[in-house]
Amino acid sequence: MEDTTEKKDTRPRQNTSRVSVLAGCASVGCQASAEPRRGAREERRPGAEAFRAMLSHYSHAQPAAAARRLTVTRPDGQQGGSGRAKRVDINSATPPFQPRRGLQVSESHTEPRGGAGQNPGSANGNDRRKEAVMTAVRWINDSLCPMLKGFEPGDQTGVDKLLSDFYLAHFLEDQERQAREKDNQQSSEPVPEPATPPKSSLMLSKNCERAQSRKKNSTEKPIPPAEPPVPVLPGSVAVGTVSLAVAKAGAEIGGVPLYHHITTLKRPQFSGEIHMPLPMVTVLSCGRLSPGKLNLMEEVMVLPKAGQTIKQFLATVLELQREITGIMNAASKTGPALNAVSDSGALVIGYDRPEQPLDLISEASHNLGFVLGDVMSLAINCAGHELMDYQKGKYDAITGSPKSPNELVELYESLTSKYPAVIALIDPFRKEDQEQWERLSSVLGNTYLLSEAVSKTSGSHTLPGTRGFILQQTNEVTVTDLIHLTRQLEGAVTVVGTTNGEPCDDSLSDLAVGLGVTLVKLGGLYHGERLTKYNRLISIEEELAQQGRLGSGNARFPLSAGEQEEASSTAHS
């Protein structure tokens, strides 16, 4: 046998797979090597070593040439990703991650959804994200790596159970700590004696209360109070991060793509066609941060109709975006009109009326020679939970023209009647306005009402009138959680969506395909972190077509009337 120890392989490395973390706080470059590993294999457990290395070693936000790398050597001498190997071993002398000044991190720690007054870019928000990332890194280095020692990456359920138990213990400990602090604070504060108001002031106050009560009774009943936000424990992103890293290690060991590995985790004996999720591509953003009065349309998205591949559809969307830009620039007297792009990768445009962005898309599609509804449909992310003005008890859908929940129902009914290409609304209301969810569903008929930020099987998917749910792999949500959730929602419309501050990683596309969801919401066609995911979707679709396993995703959506009724009952069961 030829000795290869003295030879240096100068060939370009092939099949490089990047194992990155959704938090952006830890990423591992996993580079394949053709050099066979030497030494006794019986004394080590390469599978467990693989994902321990993925969890223990990190690359700082430095240029690619300076990033730390791990070398993957297969026992059979094959390069990572080629052929079908049983084991993979990852060795690195790189020390554990150490925070240092100037470290750049991605923001995928997700805060609770709040009201219109919250500013995600505030100093407090940045401090919370920094604390969350640093805590996550500490959890991974100090606790999770030792706990997972000896586990096989193929045991996704077992690993995720351990991760969830670890998180629950820390969550309960944090709740107890907060309760003690609250009790200590209350016991240390003196209780002031109530002051007795003068008789005249008391009578005036009672008269005002009666007048306000009569006024409220003559108009609309008060809105339901906001439910307390679900607590987010700093460091929870480590749980979802490690879960995904383990899934990637399992796919690498099995010599299969990540989407195939997740498909097998969900359906172990499945060998049939795989359906591609339909992309919801954001083309316009007319939400609270846009310059106009219109706040209601955080995202205006397009969806493909039947008979198009993802590659063909995205090419059409690019043409549509260019036409929209041309229309706006031609109408502008002060130079280019569109020069801002939202975090979701869409053009930011200021309008005062909800009809205007829909008219713009209709005009652009007409100029390209097709009619909305024939080639593509529309969906609107209303982000209703961000628009409620609790002092007025109304939604700030349009600045200067607030809408009550019932008035908002009428607005949605008018829009969908005038623009039948709109087939889906995401979060048209807060989840507390359940009466309006149900009423809107009965009024709109075939229009889908989708609820965002569903991530756990905790009963958060029981909104009346909803026909689908957007799932996110963030914070403490594990791969197993998503598998269980998609099984539970079988028959309903399911969507895998991105979070704010997405890293430039394509794992979410594999996750969406492997879970078998109906739609995937990746944002617009700007920003590298968005395009990376769309490119991965195209690659998966082409790979499945070559294998003869590509199913027709368009045949599953929109659903027929009977299927919609069944999906609605499934979602509320």
pLDDT in tens, 78-120: 333 333 333 333 233 333 333 333 323 333 556 655 544 445 5
Same-domain pairing of 249 and 106: yes
Same-domain pairing of 388 and 522: yes
Same-domain pairing of 68 and 152: yes
Q: What is the pTM of this model?
A: 0.76
d(CA 215, CA 346): 43
Nearest to 509 by CA among 543, 528, 535: 535
What is the extent of the structural domain holding 158? 12-110+126-176+231-256
Same-domain pairing of 155 and 294: no
Reported as half-sphere exposure (CB side, CA atoms, 13 A), residue 453 has a value of: 17
**Could you tell me if residue 191 is inside a domain?**
no
For the chain, the first-to-last Cα distance in angstroms comes to 64
Nearest to 300 by CA among 344, 269, 237, 265: 344
**Could you tell me if residue 205 is inside a domain?**
no
72's enclosing H/E stretch is: strand 69-73
Q: Please state the rounded mean pLDDT for residues 209-238.
A: 73
Same-domain pairing of 251 and 322: no
Same-domain pairing of 340 and 246: no
**Could you tell me if residue 54 is inside a domain?**
yes
Same-domain pairing of 272 and 239: no
Contact of 273 with 550, CB cutoff 8 Å: yes
Whichever domain contains 435, its CATH number is 3.20.20.120
Predicted local distance difference test score (pLDDT) of residue 64: 33
**What single letter denotes the amino acid at residue 235?**
G
Same-domain pairing of 248 and 270: no
**pLDDT single digits (tens) 512-553:** 999 999 999 999 999 999 999 999 999 999 999 999 999 875
* 273: Cβ contacts below 8 Å, ≥ 6 apart: 549, 550, 551
Predicted local distance difference test score (pLDDT) of residue 232: 87
Above pLDDT 90, what percent of the chain?
54
pLDDT band at 212 (very low <50, low <70, confident <90, very high): low
Instruction: Count structural domains, the chain.
Output: 2
Total length of the chain: 573
Question: In the listed set 222, 256, 290, which residue is the last one of a domain according to the structure?
Answer: 256
Nearest to 444 by CA among 490, 470, 408: 408
Predicted local distance difference test score (pLDDT) of residue 249: 96
| Higher per-residue confidence, 398 vs 59 | 398
**Could you tell me if residue 195 is inside a domain?**
no
Distances (CA, A) of 226 to 42, 267, 433, 458, 540: 58, 39, 9, 18, 42
**Could you tell me if residue 553 is inside a domain?**
yes
Q: What angle do CA 22, 26, 29 make, to 5 degrees?
A: 95
Q: Which residues pair with 275 in a beta bridge?
A: 551
Q: Is the pLDDT of residue 196 over 80?
A: no
Same-domain pairing of 287 and 240: no
Above pLDDT 70, what percent of the chain?
67
Same-domain pairing of 330 and 479: yes
Distances (CA, A) of 232 to 82, 175, 288, 539: 40, 11, 24, 35
**Could you tell me if residue 493 is inside a domain?**
yes
Same-domain pairing of 337 and 300: yes
